Amino acid sequence: MPSNKSVSDAPIVQFTNCRILRDHQLQREDLWVREGKILNPEKLFFDEKGSADIQLDCKDSIITPGFIDVQINGGFGVDFSLATDDFKAGIDLVSQKILSHGVTSFCPTLVTSPPSVYHQVLPQISVRNGGAHGAGVLGAHLEGPFISKEKKGAHPEHCLRTFEAGAFQDLLATYGTLDCVRIVTLAPEMRRSSEVIQELTKKGICVSLGHSVANLSQAEEAVQHGATFITHLFNAMLPFHHRDPGIVGLLTSDKIPAGRRVFYGMISDGIHTNPAALRIAHRAHPKGLVLVTDAIAGMGLAPGRHTLGQQVVEIDGLNTYIAGTKTLSGSVATMDTCVRHFQEATGCSVETALEAASLHPAQLLGIEHKKGTLNYDSDADFLMLNDNLYVQATYIAGEEVWRQDASGM
């Protein structure tokens, strides 16, 4: 075959014998990768007269874009809401460990904390690409402290804050920096929240509505000012009521600005949301559903006592409670578990379940041109799965970063 070296010296890898998730369908075709990007084979053949340098037999695996977790509080003994001297080592550990669960990018999430914690932790979070060292960091998700006392959930009440006269300045003073911040969860019924939502949106930060007693009109107003996400739908918000469905009503609201999509996170762990509630949300607004783990430090560890920011939590099976209460506090589910449970609970297609953990979070963050799809020229972050949606191998920028060994570990 003619050489392809005229365009690039980088090797071309052809993944064969696989089913690729592309254009919302599993398609039986090969995946071509060069220099960390998905390659268009037609251009390679006809423009460059090139061919593959390496061929890899995928043994009939499903190839799907890597999962993106936009709400993860920690895991494997690491709590992102604790200001420690080795905080960066904690980020590194979690980013390495979640590769085996198919997560190739994530947003480290901080729950409501004192300003001193934000000032210490946020400068230590930096946006970075994934690789052999672990999943990529897309920026921080700050969940609180500007949330409702009535729906605080596992957030410490003494750290909650309201917006005063200089609303956006209050937020800046609390967090210290917004340099690495990607998502902020707040309660839209708070006074002056509209101006805060507008300012955050101007800075390209995604505003999420959660831990809130907002009615539907307050939620719609927040969306009109730029909010695009709902934090863990159904959890820590007013329950659905037929005369005023509250934040949940955004899923079928006719007051969403033209061209705007509201996304919503769901913790599909079999604990936080009844399967019937998962089905209701998915059928009402399938294109907005984003699977999140909301995982805490105890993910990957034995049951017992662990932390979530300022609180002590107890893990009992898959249940996590604030110690001494029955208040749920995050989950210990991994993203691949959430994908499988979602598919089983809703009866949706494999493609739909996979896109809820890849395409939809990428669209939420406005990065779907490079993450969350296997389109040509997008980042070659992908997974090999078996038919039961268990992760067999994880690739970032076209490089294998994790593989299940022969013993099944």
From the annotation, which residues make up the binding site? 143, 154, 211, 232, 235-236, 243, 272, 328-330
Residues placed in the known binding site for Zn(2+): 143, 211, 232
H or E element that contains 267: strand 263-267
Helices (H), 49-142: 87-97, 115-121
Residues placed in the known binding site for substrate: 154, 235-236, 243, 272, 328-330
Residues 6+ away with beta carbon under 8 Å from 264 = 229, 230, 233, 250, 251, 281, 285, 288, 289, 290
Which sign, positive or negative, has the C-alpha torsion 157, 162, 168, 173?
A: negative
Helices (H), 122-230: 167-175, 193-202, 216-224
HEC profile of 10-52? CCEEEEEEEEEEECCEEECCCEEEECCEECCHHHHHHCCCCCC
Q: Which two tokens stand for residue 22?
A: 């592309």
H or E element that contains 314: strand 311-316
Structure-token match 């959890």, residue found? 235
| Contact assessment for residue 250 and residue 220, using Cβ atoms and an 8 Å cutoff | yes
- Out of 294, 336, 379, 381, the active site residue is 294
Residues 6+ away with beta carbon under 8 Å from 83 = 116, 117, 120, 121
Instruction: Based on the residue annotation, tell me whether 294 is a catalytic residue of this protein.
Output: yes
Active-site residue list: 294
